[in-house]
Amino acid sequence: MKSNYHCAVKDCKREFCALHRFPKFNEQPERFRLFVEATGNDNLKKLTPRKIYDRIRICNNHFKLEDMRRVGDNRFALFRHAVPSVNIYEI
């Protein structure tokens, strides 16, 4: 089954890549903001944090290896303070 999600980062063309949820805004507002900025995707600014958490994903391609740990075949979990820092949209 094909996933409905794709990476939110502007111009990211990666497919078949592990995807991550955004942080919860009410728990980590600053980290949430850094994720939104890293995407360079202004459409996200029109969505509520709740909708972003439910619908938007960001792919593995924007994190360093040390930002995540493998939790299964092609599944990775981000560490709690990881932020996108690789191949992100330059502001």
The token pair that represents 37 in the structure block: 């900025």
- 39 burial class (0-12, 13-18, 19+ CB within 10 angstroms)? buried
Q: Are 41 and 10 in contact (CB under 8 A)?
A: yes
Q: Which lies closer to Zn ion via its Cβ, residue 26 or residue 85?
A: 85
Q: Which lies closer to Zn ion via its Cβ, residue 27 or residue 90?
A: 90
The token pair that represents 24 in the structure block: 């919860």
Task: Please list the residues that pair with 82 across neighbouring strands.
Answer: none
Is residue 38 part of the contact set for Zn ion (CB under 5 A)? no
Q: Which lies closer to Zn ion via its Cβ, residue 7 or residue 83?
A: 7
Is residue 59 part of the contact set for Zn ion (CB under 5 A)? yes
Span 3-22, contacts to Zn ion by CB under 5 A: 7, 9, 12, 14
Residues in contact with Zn ion by CB under 5 A are: 7, 9, 12, 14, 59, 61
